[in-house]
Structure 1
Amino acid sequence: MKDGNAIRGPVQINQGAAGEDTPTGTFDVQWKDRHHRSKEFNDAPMEYSVFFAPGGIAMHQGNVHKQSAGCVHLSATDAAAWYSYLRVGDQVQVHRQEPGSPA
């Protein structure tokens, strides 16, 4: 949202699997890394990472048809757009997604 208007979306995402739920609520962008690699998951690529929640939770490029270990998977186009737009300190909101529904 910017000035009360949606600037992008809804976009297709996927979220954390059962037991590895993506946290919901209002968060601030903590840091960003264009070419992040996961230390926890065998150096897996996490392009366009925007970290927003404790425990290394980020929105990043990922398979939108596969649940994550807590992060928000976005298409390459959407991940790049959000990475470019969001700044450290910006507010993000995460709401529960019903299976099969757009974000």
Structure 2
Amino acid sequence: MRGKALLTALLAFSPLTAWAETLVARVDISDQTMAVSLDGDALHIWPVSTARPGKFTPVGTFHPQSLRRMHYSSLYNNAPMPWSIFFYGNFAIHGTTAVELLGCPASAGCIRLAPENAEVLYGLVLQAGFADTWIIVQE
């Protein structure tokens, strides 16, 4: 019986028996908000900052390409980008120190969140996986 219990426990943590949860982070550029849902259940609505005038935030549907717990921008004077979720080349969703600007276009193109919200989203992406995470950016 002990061997069967061990096998059951191992299978419970096997990727073959895990089921995918669909994570959607929907960014509305006109409202400067992100709505996060998991398997269709609304979890969060957060203010964001997207591209300021003269810059652009890519519009479309994306999957995460890479994650970085702490990234420093090589394009913008080593600006800190905690909890980075890269989704289109150098464009990422990440935490910002300029939280007073959230809700207004202020970035060079990335999608900025309050650091605590970026950390939550980062964890959700790790949980769901890249293939089951959708980043939808709309105007």
Deviations along 1:8-37, one digit per CA (max 9) or x if unpaired, are 2x1011101122111111101000000101
Give RMSD over aligned pairs.
Answer: 1.4
Whole-Å separation in 1 of the counterparts to 2:110 and 2:80: 13
| Structure 1 counterpart of 2:116, one-letter code | T
Structure 1 window deviating more from structure 2 (14-23 vs 84-93): it is 84-93
- Higher relative CO (CA 8 A, sep ≥ 6), structure 1 or 2? 1
Structure 1 window deviating more from structure 2 (26-35 vs 15-24): it is 15-24
Aligned residues: 94
Which runs of at least 4 in structure 1 moved beyond 4 Å after TM superposition? none
Unmatched segments (≥5 aa) in structure 1: 97-103
Q: Which has the higher helix share?
A: 2
Partner of 1:73: 112
Whole-Å separation in 2 of the counterparts to 1:80 and 1:2: 16
| Structure 1 counterpart of 2:135, one-letter code | V
Counterpart secondary structure, 1:81? helix
Partner of 1:27: 62
Unmatched segments (≥5 aa) in structure 2: 1-36
Partner of 2:14: none
The structure number with the bigger radius of gyration is 2
Contact 1:28–1:92, Cα closer than 8 Å, also in 2: yes
Contact 1:32–1:88, Cα closer than 8 Å, also in 2: no
Q: Which has the higher strand share?
A: 2
TM-score (norm 2): 0.63
Counterparts of 1:1-103 in structure 2, within 5 Å, are 1-8=37-44, 10-54=45-89, 56-62=90-96, 63-64=98-99, 65=101, 67-86=106-125, 87-89=129-131, 90-96=133-139
1:2 is displaced (CA, Å) by: 2.1
1:92 is displaced (CA, Å) by: 1.0
Counterpart secondary structure, 1:88? coil
Whole-Å separation in 1 of the counterparts to 2:47 and 2:38: 20
Whole-Å separation in 1 of the counterparts to 2:56 and 2:91: 10
Whole-Å separation in 1 of the counterparts to 2:79 and 2:67: 16
TM-score (norm 1): 0.83
